[in-house]
Each structure stands twice: as C-alpha cells, then as structure tokens.
Amino acid sequence: MSQKKQAWKFGRFAEELAAWHLRFRGYRIVARGFRSTVGEIDIVARRGQVLAFVEVKARKDLDAAAQSLRPRQAGRIVRAAGAFIQSRPALSALDQRFDVILVVPWKLPVHLGDAWRPEL
C-alpha cells in the first residue's frame, strides 16, 4: 500500500475515533466532512448550547499533531464554519468554538476545547 493511501486511511480512522470520543463525552455529531468553497470542517458537534467545529489531527506523536494546525488552515476552518452556519441558520444562536482533537497511535484522543479563536 502506498504511503499516501496509508496516511489517508489513518486520517479516516482518526476522524472516526474522534467522533466516538466526542459521543462518549456527551456531544451529538451534527455533521462530518462538511465542505464548502472556502474550506472544510472534519466534525461539527453539539453539546448543550455549544456548537464545536472540530479539526482532527493524526500524527505519529502528540507534538507533531499539536503543531500541524497552521494559521492559514485555521482561517479556512473559520470561514467554513461561517458557511456551515449560513446553511443551517437554526444553529446560529448557539455558542460557537473551535476545537482540535489530536490522535496518535495506541493512545486515547486528546481533545483541546476552544483551541483557538478567530481573529476579528
């Protein structure tokens, strides 16, 4: 199997694991793999009055996973979140935040709630 295909499969596995992790913590998955012309969101999850836009990062170690979210990508996720809210106006009244879930082999996922805030 090619290295690119292996990385893709690990990423898909990481997103599935992250979704289960969120469910276990009381979140309801609203959407997965949301795409718009301005960006993509791995998982949109809700718990109570909070709507979390979740980026999943899968790497070989936690440091690499934590450092893999770049400001440019964060900006695309913020713009995609805006497009998501426009497509589902009923969710616009919820508090919104941006989370990251770090996934590394043989460890439980690490959920960083409110990992960054959009620049206004």
How confident is the model over 44-94, as pLDDT tens digits? 999 999 999 999 998 888 887 888 888 888 999 999 999 999 999 999 999
Domain boundaries, the chain: 3-116
Q: How far is CA 109 from CA 14, 19, 38, 58, in A?
A: 9, 10, 27, 9
Distance of CA 82 to the CA centre of its chain: 15
* pTM exceeding 0.95: no
Q: Right CATH number for 3-116 from 3.40.1350.10, 3.90.400.10, 3.30.1330.10, 3.40.50.300? A: 3.40.1350.10
How much is the pLDDT for 108?
93
Q: Which of 5-9, 94-98, 106-110 has the lowest mean pLDDT?
A: 5-9
How much is the pLDDT for 120? 61
